[in-house]
Amino acid sequence: MGVFAYDPDCLRGRAVPGTWRHWVYMQDQKTVAIICPACQRALCLPTHTVSNTGAVSPSVVCTHPGCTFHAFITLKDYSPHG
């Protein structure tokens, strides 16, 4: 479980675990948001770096209480401009 599929609607009521989308995080700061495949809640990644091929670094640790998800992930079909 490390490849996240692109889903532009992933925070709009039909959250599919293991998907991602672009997200504006506070004012104009762009980041990506993912749906945690373990707890199925949304996570923003403002302190992570995403390469042009979608590789996220460092590894992602879910911050939701009680969730133990921790993995290196890749964003499928990632484009830096989206």
Q: Which of 15, 39, 42, 44 binds Zn ion (CB under 5 A)?
A: 39
Q: Which is closer to Zn ion, CB of 15 or CB of 39?
A: 39
d(C-alpha 43, C-alpha 52), whole Å: 20
- 48: which 2 tokens? 């992570």
Q: Which is closer to Zn ion, CB of 11 or CB of 81?
A: 11
Site for Zn ion in 19-38 (CB under 5 A): 36, 38
d(C-alpha 59, C-alpha 49), whole Å: 10
d(C-alpha 80, C-alpha 51), whole Å: 8
Binding site for Zn ion (CB under 5 A): 36, 38-39, 62, 64, 67, 69
